[in-house]
């Protein structure tokens, strides 16, 4: 049976609904199905029986303990995916999903009752498809040492991968975001979630940045010789701006590659810019004076976005993917996107929408007047060789890219 490895828990105070759901899960082949008629009983079951893979929970039970159950069980790491069988207002549902995200839970809202085999099978398949990706990092992080990452930087095992930014109207590549991947000789391709904590702890973020820049600028030179000018966007931590020599180091690297500042963009996460000392502001100004673009990344997820836009010399806004994820069903997300687009136009700043994953999301964004975006619907991060092939295929429309 495909779901034999899944352990499930049903939390529902309606005996008939609970019985139907338990029966359906067993018919689908779940290894073990537990049941409780309130949140307190569900917590006691988990305490005695251990964690579950999938929990189906009604948040509108009479005892109102459903949310408390998710908070306590999720915080203790006893839940995987949680299917919410209550019909809640969009804003309340979005807040519940945010709570889940903070707890590391995958929460799926508005699972219609009574459950049907087809819809439940889809959710179980979704859990199984996500499970390996969620478990992989924890098994690998503990083995990453400072010596390993230093060696990886020296041997250029930390490689740039490139995720294009697109013109949503024409499909033209407007530039690429440079992302780090570790091509580990024995562990395969590792994502930043695995090695960035070690780099940050050991103070090696500058070494990573300049290693990626060196490799990416080489690729930019290859593209230029083929008639394609390519803008490279690098992620920059706010702490790196405290180095008074940062702008000078970047200027020297550009000179060594015969590149210009206008061919670079630096993306800074706004949540890291709560306090901006004078030296950081000086670096930002110097980068702008060199012609570099400055992008405020993950816009809208922190508490100081508007203040940062007024104080710092950004000329691009990257709106966080959270707002696109619910664009079709959540009026508040559409309002935030529309307001950000209007604000960007008023401030003379380009707006890039992150996290576009479906054709429906793209069509909605186009109707709202969005012209620039990034996400898996267009392209996943790719190697430099794949990017060059992609750009050559799109020529001559790719020629003269900024």
Give the DSSP letter of residue 250: H
Q: What is the mean pLDDT of each run of 10 residues along the chain (402 residues)?
A: 81 89 89 90 90 89 78 87 82 77 81 78 79 43 77 93 94 93 90 89 93 97 92 92 93 97 91 67 92 88 65 89 85 91 92 93 94 92 93 57 40
One domain for residues 193 and 107: no
Residue 51 lies in a domain: yes
Residue 247 lies in a domain: yes
Q: Are 284 and 313 in contact (CB under 8 A)?
A: yes
Residue 30 lies in a domain: yes
One domain for residues 374 and 259: yes
Specify the DSSP element, H or E, that contains 152: helix 146-154
One domain for residues 197 and 321: yes
Q: What is the pTM of this model?
A: 0.69
**Pairwise CA distance, residues 5 & 3, whole Å:** 5
**Pairwise CA distance, residues 273 & 66, whole Å:** 37
Residue 324 lies in a domain: yes
**Pairwise CA distance, residues 58 & 70, whole Å:** 10
The pLDDT, as a whole number, for residue 85 is: 84
One domain for residues 171 and 127: no
Backbone angles phi, psi at 150, to 5 degrees: -65, -45
One domain for residues 100 and 184: no
Residue 401 lies in a domain: no
Q: What CATH number did the domain enclosing 328 receive?
A: 3.20.20.450
One domain for residues 192 and 115: no
Q: What is the pLDDT of residues 28-47, one digit of tens each?
A: 888 899 999 888 899 999 98
* Domain endpoint, select from 139, 165, 181: 139
The pLDDT, as a whole number, for residue 358 is: 92
Pick the closest to residue 226 from 401, 11, 37 (CA basis). 401
Biggest distance spanned by C-alpha atoms of the chain? 73
One domain for residues 191 and 224: yes
Q: Are 393 and 363 in contact (CB under 8 A)?
A: no
* CA angle in degrees (0–180, nearest 5) for 210-213-219: 150
Tokens coding 160: 């740039």
**Pairwise CA distance, residues 292 & 102, whole Å:** 34
Distance of CA 334 to the CA centre of its chain: 19
One domain for residues 111 and 62: yes
**Pairwise CA distance, residues 232 & 217, whole Å:** 8
Backbone angles phi, psi at 263, to 5 degrees: -90, 5
Distance of CA 310 to the CA centre of its chain: 26
* Domain endpoint, select from 90, 115, 139: 139
Domain limits at 308? 144-394
The pLDDT, as a whole number, for residue 210 is: 96
**Pairwise CA distance, residues 80 & 77, whole Å:** 8
**Residues near 202 by Cβ (< 8 Å), separated by ≥ 6?**
146, 149, 150
Which pairs with CB-CB distance under 8 Å and at least 24 residues apart come from 128-135?
128/2, 128/3, 128/5, 128/6, 130/81, 130/106, 131/53, 131/80, 134/80
One domain for residues 129 and 151: no
* Domain endpoint, select from 82, 116, 139: 139
One domain for residues 294 and 193: yes
- Count of structural domains, the chain: 2
**Pairwise CA distance, residues 119 & 212, whole Å:** 44
Residue 2 lies in a domain: no
Q: What is the pLDDT of residues 304-346, one digit of tens each?
A: 567 777 778 999 999 988 889 888 878 888 999 999 999 999 9
Residue 399 lies in a domain: no
Q: What CATH number did the domain enclosing 64 receive?
A: 3.40.50.2300
Residue 208 lies in a domain: yes
One domain for residues 124 and 148: no
The pLDDT, as a whole number, for residue 135 is: 39
One domain for residues 236 and 359: yes
Got the DSSP string for 238-294?
GGGGG-TTHHHHHHHHHHHTT--GGGEEEEEEGGG-SS--HHHHHHHHHHHHTT-EE
Q: Are 256 and 286 in contact (CB under 8 A)?
A: no
Q: Are 53 and 132 in contact (CB under 8 A)?
A: no
The pLDDT, as a whole number, for residue 274 is: 56
**Residues forming the active site:** 354
């Amino acid at each position: 049976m495909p779901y034999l490895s899944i352990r499930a828990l049903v939390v529902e105070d309606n005996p008939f609904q609970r019985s139907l759901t338990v029966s359906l899960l067993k018919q689908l082949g779940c290894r073990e199905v537990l049941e409780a008629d309130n949140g307190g009983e569900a917590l006691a079951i988990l305490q005695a029986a251990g964690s579950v893979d999938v929990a189906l929970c009604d948040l509108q039970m009479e005892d109102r303990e459903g949310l408390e159950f998710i908070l306590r069980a999720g915080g203790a790491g006893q839940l995987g995916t949680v299917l919410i069988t209550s019909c809640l207002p969009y804003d309340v549902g979005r807040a519940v999903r945010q709570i889940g995200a903070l707890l590391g839970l995958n929460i799926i809202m508005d699972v219609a009752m009574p459950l049907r085999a087809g819809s439940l099978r889809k959710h179980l398949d979704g859990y199984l498809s996500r499970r390996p990706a969620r478990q992989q990092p924890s098994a690998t992080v503990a083995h990453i040492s400072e010596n390993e990452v230093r060696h990886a930087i020296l041997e250029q095992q930390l490689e740039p991968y490139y995720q294009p930014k697109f013109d949503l109207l024409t499909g033209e590549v407007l530039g690429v975001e440079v992302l780090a991947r570790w091509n580990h000789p024995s562990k395969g391709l590792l994502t930043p979630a695995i090695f960035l904590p070690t780099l940050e702890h050991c103070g090696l973020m500058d070494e990573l940045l300049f290693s990626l820049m060196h490799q990416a600028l080489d690729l930019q030179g290859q593209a230029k010789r083929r008639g394609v000018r390519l803008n490279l966007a690098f992620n920059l931590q706010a702490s790196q701006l405290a180095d008074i020599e940062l702008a000078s180091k970047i200027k020297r690297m550009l000179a060594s590659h015969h590149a210009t500042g206008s061919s670079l963009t630096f993306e800074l996460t706004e949540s890291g810019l709560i306090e901006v000392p004078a030296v950081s502001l000086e670096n930002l100004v110097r980068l702008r004076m060199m012609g570099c673009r400055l992008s405020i990344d993950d816009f809208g997820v922190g508490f100081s976005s508007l203040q940062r836009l007024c104080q710092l010399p950004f000329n691009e806004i990257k709106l966080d993917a959270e707002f696109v994820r619910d664009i079709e069903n959540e009026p508040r997300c559409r309002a935030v996107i529309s307001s950000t687009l209007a604000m960007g136009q008023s401030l003379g700043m380009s707006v890039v929408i992150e996290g576009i994953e479906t054709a429906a999301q793209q069509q909605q964004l186009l109707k709202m007047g969005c012209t620039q975006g990034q996400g898996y619907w267009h392209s996943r991060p790719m190697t430099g060789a794949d990017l060059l092939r992609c750009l050559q295929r799109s020529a001559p429309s790719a020629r003269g890219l900024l």
